Structure 1
Amino acid sequence: MTESATLAGLGEFGAVGLLTRGLVAGAGVELGPGDDAAVLQPGGARVVVSTDTMVEGVHFRRDWGNGLETGRKAVAAAAADLEAMGAEPWALVVSLTAPGDLPVTWLRFFHQGVLSECELAGLQLVGGDTTRGRDVTLGMTVLGRLDGEPVTRAGARPGDVVAVRGRLGWAAAGLAVLTRGFRSPRAAVAAQLVPEVPWGAGGEARRAGASAMIDVSDGLLADLGHVARASGVSVDVEAARLEVPEVLRTVAQATGKDALGFVLTGGEDHALAACFPAAGVPDGWSVVGRVVEAGDEPAVTVDGRRWEGAQGHDHFA
């Protein structure tokens, strides 16, 4: 098959075969791809389920990143929600919509990216679906196993500290660079194309007694706002505790943006933010704030004051 081959030439079943070739059923998978549905056996564990959609032109662009990067990003964005519940990533089902002129080369790289991130996350690809559409759209459904109680957004208590594991602001800085038509700093661009999820940190936080947790996908302030409202508390972030790397300062200076704003409101890094008793923060987590009484209503503040401007990303704003 030539490098110029397209999905139309490969055909639906050829595409399915490419995406499932070489898969071996692992622990807990009784029946993988090839039938009408997969069959899983979780044992005595809870099953945690989440889904995530990525649309070309909204969440990724093929002129910015290749199929491998998009495959990794799609898996990371979906499975980070399992980590946020304290669950162990287990199984993945992929739904792919694509135009007939999509190069098969892109699909091959996408397949490699999916499997690469699955290996990092501990996921098994167990099935999916393909159909034709105008743009590439990816539906990623993930399942996790949980031996214990889930960590929800609703358990934060006044007196808890707020801690973060993972990077903040890097993907937003990369987006700012790419939308200006540039490809550097490369580290920022790479962070937008492929997030670095702190795999395993969600279970670690659950075992350490985290009272609430969330995946930082829309921005630290926006996502802590979800925790505050669900828990009926307020959260105060201490700016001095936040790391603002030099690469973010460089991008901010070049684009006229605020480096601290990247950290506070930038999404798509898929770090984890969790609340812990003050003496229970695991190693590797950075304390960035505290949980306080809600007052008139739940709120998120920075150094005791409300952040001026957007709190984070809103798809429909």
Structure 2
Amino acid sequence: MSVAKVGEFGLIARITTRLPVGPTVLLGPGDDAAVVTAADGRVVASTDVLVEGRHFRRDWCTAQDVGHRAAAANLADIAAMGAVPTALLVALCVPADLEALWAEGLADGLAAEAGLVGASVVGGDMSGSPTLTISVTALGDLQGRAPVVRTGARPGDVVAMSGRTGYAAAGYTVLSRGFRTPKLLVDAYRRPEVPYAAGPEAATLGATAMVDVSDGLLSDLGHIAAGSGVGADVRRDAFDIPRQMRDAAHALGVDPYTWVLAGGEDHALVATFPVDTALPEGWRVVGEVREGAGVTVDGRAYKGPTGWRHF
């Protein structure tokens, strides 16, 4: 049954019944606005948007996959500030002939990804549109920590990463060439594995700057370098390239480091730390902060693309 036949309020009712609420939610979906606790007294907020044909394709991803992707893009931004995500607000613009079951699957994916960090989908909006568009706003709690911003890196700091890069970009390339394997890469594109807990952990460890890798490692690390007025250097040998990625790169005629250094949507967290910081398991040093400007690779200017560009 299409969205048009179910109707706006019918679809809202079908979606909201699929959205459990957690302990931080005082009033969930169903009223003019939700009420969410903010024990810290500060609320971290971030918004992202996914447009069909630009950020996802329904022939590549299930509705649940798109829900996971939409939630992850926002939850990762909250984690990159050193905060714990608490809630999501979702605005959904849909064509009239979209199957209602697809929208329900999207809700399931959003709720499942949010549930990984104890967050809840607490409300949103809906409209008709010729282009399927999903806008998500995420809220988070700093729990007494100072936010970790992009402007605090200092020469001598190490650059460290939690999570992985290149997997989603490789999966995108595989899918765009008409293939559906390797599964490791395609699954990474469909549902990113985000190290959410590493964000608050980095803040507790004294990270001087942090960002999530949504557009590409070199591009996003470049935001830290520009904001902090420093340079940064990344080492290729710090990254492990799995066999499936090497094989796919060879078959497709791609340098796998293009995916690792410039590919986005894995939502790894990259942070700078004082050099004497004892990094826990899950973090690895991938470079260093230097005097200067921009981001280099193995001490030299990088010649290839550095990340995604919207325009």
Q: TM-score, normalised by structure 2?
A: 0.97
Q: CA deviation at 1:311?
A: 0.7
Q: Do 2:52 and 2:132's aligned partners in 1 also have CA atoms closer than 8 Å?
A: yes
Instruction: Report whether the alignment pairs 1:92 with 2:88.
Output: yes
Match of 1:44 among 40, 64, 89: 40
Instruction: Report whether the alignment pairs 1:196 with 2:193.
Output: yes
Q: Provide the rounded CA distance (Å) in 2 between the counterparts of 1:289 and 1:22.
A: 43
- Amino acid of the residue matched to residue 29 of structure 1? V
Counterparts in 2 of 1:16-165, with a 5 A limit?
Answer: 16-21=12-17, 23-146=19-142, 147-165=144-162
Instruction: Report whether the alignment pairs 1:251 with 2:262.
Output: no
Instruction: Report whether the alignment pairs 1:307 with 2:302.
Output: yes
Change in 2 beyond 3 A, CA 1:292/1:243: same
Q: Provide the rounded CA distance (Å) in 1 between the counterparts of 2:236 and 2:81.
A: 26
Q: Provide the rounded CA distance (Å) in 1 between the counterparts of 2:135 and 2:18.
A: 22
Instruction: Identify the residue that residue 210 of structure 1 maps to in structure 2.
Output: 207
Q: Do 1:248 and 1:262's aligned partners in 2 also have CA atoms closer than 8 Å?
A: no
Q: Provide the rounded CA distance (Å) in 1 between the counterparts of 2:229 and 2:240.
A: 28
Counterparts in 2 of 1:236-275, with a 5 A limit?
Answer: 236-275=233-272
Q: CA deviation at 1:27?
A: 2.6
Instruction: Identify the residue that residue 287 of structure 2 maps to in structure 1.
Output: 289
Q: Do 1:28 and 1:43's aligned partners in 2 also have CA atoms closer than 8 Å?
A: no
Instruction: Identify the residue that residue 187 of structure 1 maps to in structure 2.
Output: 184
Q: CA deviation at 1:34?
A: 1.1
Q: How many residue pairs are counted as aligned between the two chains?
A: 309
Segments of structure 2 that go 5 or more residues without pairing to the other structure are none
Q: Do 1:205 and 1:282's aligned partners in 2 also have CA atoms closer than 8 Å?
A: no
Alpha-carbon deviations, 1:83-140, whole Å to 9, x = none? 1000000011000000111112211211111111011122111101111001210000
Q: Provide the rounded CA distance (Å) in 1 between the counterparts of 2:34 and 2:227.
A: 34
Task: Give RMSD over aligned pairs.
Answer: 1.1
Q: Do 1:197 and 1:269's aligned partners in 2 also have CA atoms closer than 8 Å?
A: yes
Q: CA deviation at 1:22?
A: 5.2
- Amino acid of the residue matched to residue 228 of structure 1? A
Change in 2 beyond 3 A, CA 1:173/1:24: closer
- Amino acid of the residue matched to residue 125 of structure 1? V
Q: TM-score, normalised by structure 1?
A: 0.95
Q: Provide the rounded CA distance (Å) in 2 between the counterparts of 1:198 and 1:270.
A: 8
- Amino acid of the residue matched to residue 102 of structure 1? L
Q: Say which SS state the counterpart of residue 46 (structure 1) adopts.
A: coil
Q: CA deviation at 1:43?
A: 2.4
Q: Provide the rounded CA distance (Å) in 1 between the counterparts of 2:252 and 2:204.
A: 41
Q: Provide the rounded CA distance (Å) in 2 between the counterparts of 1:313 and 1:195.
A: 17
Q: Say which SS state the counterpart of residue 197 (structure 1) adopts.
A: coil
Q: Provide the rounded CA distance (Å) in 2 between the counterparts of 1:111 and 1:24.
A: 11
Match of 2:273 among 273, 276, 293: 276
Q: Provide the rounded CA distance (Å) in 2 between the counterparts of 1:86 and 1:43.
A: 15
Identity of matched residues, %: 51
Q: CA deviation at 1:313?
A: 0.6
Q: CA deviation at 1:28?
A: 3.2
Q: CA deviation at 1:26?
A: 3.1
Q: Provide the rounded CA distance (Å) in 1 between the counterparts of 2:149 and 2:109.
A: 29
Alpha-carbon deviations, 1:262-316, whole Å to 9, x = none? 100000000000001122123210110000111xxx1100011011021111111
